[in-house]
Each structure stands twice: as C-alpha cells, then as structure tokens.
Structure 1
Amino acid sequence: MLPAQARLRRRPEFTTVVRSGRRAGRPTMVVHLLPERPAHAGGEPARGPEARAMTPSGARAGFVVGKSVGNSVVRHRVTRRLRAAVREELDRLPATADLVVRARPEAATADWADLRSDLRRGLDRLLDRRAGR
C-alpha cells in the first residue's frame, strides 16, 4: 500500500498530470510524469497555516484502470500489482513529481514481471528525457 501522502486522489490532479506531463507508452500501460507539480495542484488553493500542512512532501502516484481492462476483480488485481510496482520505483522520482499510470487491456493478462518491466522502462524513458539525454 502506498502512504496516503504519496497518492493522487482528486480528478483535477490526475487531469493536470495527464495533460501537462510527459508520456511514455508501453505494451501494458501508459506512464504520465509531471516532474514539477504546480503550486496549487488541483482544486481551490489553500490559504494560511493549512496550506503548508496540505503541501505534499514527496512524489505522488495515481492509477487509472478502466473497464476495458476487465471486470472488477481483474481491475483491482491490476491496480494492486501496479501499486506494488510503483512503490518500488517511487524513490527514483523527484520529490515534486506526480505520476499517473494508466493500465491498458493487456495488463489484465500480463504477469508481475511484465508489469514491473514496463513500468521501469517507461520511467527510464521519461527520466532520461527529463535529464536531457
């Protein structure tokens, strides 16, 4: 399980990452990375002392697993596997990064090694591009 502060939860946060971030397509997923989240990532901006408390202090991740992947049981299994794979890779990301992983229908039949490999390769591509290589 990812800690609560490491998860994207609101629709505007997902939308910002998908629209403004970089994307790497893999056979089982599409990885979206926004290396620098906006000051007010989604929703109404917070004011006062609560603004500092609400500011996330590390990389965050969110998952999109639609009905095209499969039924509820399959979608939840894919989400759990993706969450575990992202947990292993989260420390590679900048502290201000937001990540969205969108599962493709092929993720339903992929094994753990394939999902992990696709995530690593997608992140390698995005992080190398960010570093200017």
Structure 2
Amino acid sequence: MLPQAYRMRDGDEFRRTIRRGASASTDALVSHVALTDGSGVRVGLVVGKKVGNAVVRNRVKRRIRHAVSPELAALPDGSRVVFRALAPAAVRHDLAADAVDCLRRAVRRSTAKRV
C-alpha cells in the first residue's frame, strides 16, 4: 500500500492531472503525469467496473501500487500521477511491467510546464 502522503484523493486533482498531464498508454493501462507547484508526489488510481468485479479491481490496484512504489522516489517534486486501468488489465500477466513502462514514458513526455 502507498503511504498516505502519496495518495491522491481530491477529484479536482484527478481531473487536472488527466486533462493537463502528459500521458502514455498500453492496451491495459493509461498513465497521466503532471508537474505542479505543490510539494511531494501524489498517485491516483482509476479502475472502473469494466475491469471486473470488486475483487478483480482491487487486485489490479494492488498490483499497480506494488509495481510503481519503488519508482516514486525518482519522480520530480510536485508530480501528480494518475493510472487508469482498462479492461485487459484484469488478465494481464505483465501488468507491473506495463505500469512502470507507462510511468516512465509519461514522465519523459511531461514538460517543465507546471499545472
């Protein structure tokens, strides 16, 4: 589980990150990264009902959190990250690799422009 300081909870923060952040995707995940003037790194997960029932959705969230938690320390201060899981994420065996790959590509695409 991510420490509380890393969790994104505000709906407006999710919307700003998704709308203004750089994105990268695979067939199972989409990641959005925005740089803000805030401090710390915040991560949010969006896993809809198309992914599966509650058990499957929670499993997908745990797998994503576990994969990206070591990567968070390397992100610039003020980073906001949102992962959106798509339906194939439920059966994806290499979801962890997809999550890390999406995160790294989105970070490279993000610019110095602050949200």
Matched, 1:62 2:44: yes
Do the aligned partners of 1:29 and 1:103 also contact (CA within 8 Å) in 2?
yes
Alignment of 1:101-116 (within 5 A): 101-111=83-93, 114-116=94-96
Alignment of 1:72-91 (within 5 A): 72-91=54-73
Deviations 1:94-132 (A, max 9, x none): 111000000011110012xx1121122212222223479
Q: TM-score, normalised by structure 2?
A: 0.88
**5+ long unaligned stretches in structure 2:** none
Structure 2: which amino acid aligns with 1:63?
L
**5+ long unaligned stretches in structure 1:** 40-56
Q: TM-score, normalised by structure 1?
A: 0.77
What is the alpha-carbon root mean square deviation over aligned residues? 1.7
Q: Percent identity?
A: 43
- 1:117 corresponds to which of 87, 97, 100: 97
Do the aligned partners of 1:17 and 1:34 also contact (CA within 8 Å) in 2?
yes
Do the aligned partners of 2:21 and 2:110 also contact (CA within 8 Å) in 1?
no
Structure 2: which amino acid aligns with 1:126?
A
Do the aligned partners of 1:27 and 1:118 also contact (CA within 8 Å) in 2?
no
Q: Which has the higher strand share?
A: 2
Cα distance change, pair 127–101 in 1 and its aligned pair in 2 (3 A): same
Instruction: Report the Cα distance in structure 2 between the residues aligned to 1:69 and 1:126, rounded to whole angstroms.
Output: 22
